[in-house]
Amino acid sequence: MEFVLSSIVEKLQHQPNSALSTICFIIISILCIVKFTRRNKKINNLPPSPPKLPLIGNLHQLGTLPHQSLKALSKKYGPLLLLQLGQTQALVVSSAELVEEIAKSHDVAFSNRANNKAARVFFHQCNEVAFAPYGEEWRKKRKLCVLELLSTNRVKSFQPIRENEVLMMINSIHEVCAKGLSVNLSKMIIATSTNISSRCIFGQRFETSDDGRKSIAKVLRKMMSQLTTLGVGDLFPSLDWVDVLTGFMSRLKVTFAELDAFLEEVIEEHKRKKNCDDNNKDFVDVLLQLQERDMLEFELNGDTMKSLLLDLFVGGSDTVSTTIEWAFAELANNPKIMKKVQEEVRRIVGEKSMIEENDLNQMKYMKCVIKETLRLHPPGPLLIPRETANSVEIKGYHIPKKVTVYINSYAIHRDPKLWDNAEEFIPERFEGNQQVDYKVIDFQLIPFGFGRRGCPGISFGVASFEYMMANLLCWFDWKVPNNNNNNGALIDMSEFNGLSVTKKQPLYLEPMPYLIC
């Protein structure tokens, strides 16, 4: 650089009045700017960044399954990456050691949310918990969820709903058994988990009603799909207007209007009924009661209530169905593990005709199966994106302010430095290991996030997928259909990226009733 600059200066001295003077001055200016920028980068010591293209930066490297693509990039360039996604910057964290440092030393700085247009539209400018910016009001709303909506007692009070919905699913599978057919287990699991969540939250089921609720279920699924879609303006803020021209914004607003009308109707219906039975209250009842008694530390207006209800539904249904779907796909591919977990469940249930809630606490190996499923197949492998509230230093690297942060739990859960045979399904790795838990005693297993932004609804989700899993394992044996063709594998384990990462192909299995001898 110094050689180039001195050569240009020499030419300027010999031809001060020529056109070359102007050209050389421009070149000198550009080179000085480049040199200054590089010097700043060196001083700032930014994290490593893969080579990028003009305009789009590293967007082309994300692929259709970003968690897998980012895992590969991290393996090549290191566990802390700074990417350029259009006009925005993103930090990718792919090691448990870095997550631990963030959680213990920089949790507040990493507690903001990086929200896209869809989240701002659907949640009234992120007026809830999952997508809201970090601050005093967010803490009050999260406290409400933890103490009033998702408390241990509240989750237990919903056990009759779980029992009723799972019983209907089991009866439906028995009908299929009588016909000797295979069952679309993915579809049944999704319907059951959706109905459990919708009854606990809204007081009504969606999937089988004939009064228009099916259309609402479709709208909710459309919303969950749009929630993960980035508009042009999300990546290129200067081109924000493009989303209006392409109709992206109008599609979001149409979905929002349908959801808002539904939620308004649900709230008004609950106001008319005024449910006073504490044992049968859904989330709408609880929020209306708190609003009426003025027992909250923040204003619970209509928009806030609707945002909170929608927030809870999104977090409570998709995660459960995705986890159970992957669990049964892994068990179908590992018949010995399937047999072992079924023997445990059936031994504990004995000759009872119904699985009791207390039985679940004794099913230690089944819990290991669930944990191993969450390790290999975290529903949200990149968690919900965060945003740095201020610049921080991590491992000697400078992290700028307002950078979107992706925590790649998929890469951490499959890190061979942390897990033996990291790519294999081995539930036994969790037997007798009380240090690895859903609540992040260490940072090797983080399917529900960590720190202040960890999921407050863990107990709600765990209660649902443990009860559904136990019943499906207890009352049926499962066989892979003979027409399966997956190049030697029993079940195709290809992924599809959405709000949760689900199986690309629905899971079809042949159920056979288990007869108690």
Q: What is the pLDDT of residue 277?
A: 72
**What is the pairing mode between strands 404-407 and 88-93?**
parallel
pLDDT at 36 over 70: no
Q: What is the pLDDT of residue 498?
A: 87
| Count of C-beta atoms within a 10 Å radius of residue 433 | 11
* Average pLDDT, integer, range 171-185: 92
* Same-domain pairing of 27 and 110: no
* Same-domain pairing of 228 and 174: yes
Q: What is the pLDDT of residue 482?
A: 80
* Same-domain pairing of 40 and 108: no
Q: How far apart are CA 193 and CA 115, in angstroms?
A: 26
Q: How far apart are CA 6 and CA 287, in angstroms?
A: 72
**Residue reference for tokens 């869809």:** 118
Model confidence over 190-233: pLDDT tens digits?
Answer: 999 999 999 999 999 886 544 545 567 788 889 988 998 999 99
* Same-domain pairing of 25 and 122: no
Q: Please state, rounded to an integer, the average pLDDT across all residues of the chain.
A: 88
* Same-domain pairing of 75 and 17: no
pTM over 0.75: yes
**In angstroms, what CA-CA distances link 55 with 51, 87, 88, 403?**
13, 8, 11, 18
If phi > 0 it is left, if psi is from -120 to 50 it is alpha, else beta; for residue 395 that is left
* Same-domain pairing of 345 and 452: yes
What DSSP string runs through 449-490?
--GGGS-TTHHHHHHHHHHHHHHHHHHEEEE--TT--BTTBS
pLDDT band at 19 (very low <50, low <70, confident <90, very high): very low
CATH number at residue 255: 1.10.630.10
Q: How far apart are CA 239 and CA 111, in angstroms?
A: 27
* Same-domain pairing of 36 and 92: no
Read off the tokens for 297: 């530390």
pLDDT at 369 over 50: yes
Domain that holds residue 210: 45-513
* Same-domain pairing of 405 and 375: yes
Q: What is the pLDDT of residue 31?
A: 45
**What is the pairing mode between strands 476-479 and 508-513?**
antiparallel
Q: Where is the domain boundary, 44, 59, 78?
A: 44
* Dmax (CA) of the chain: 104
* Same-domain pairing of 20 and 69: no
Q: How far apart are CA 225 and CA 377, in angstroms?
A: 19
Is 455 annotated for ligand binding?
yes
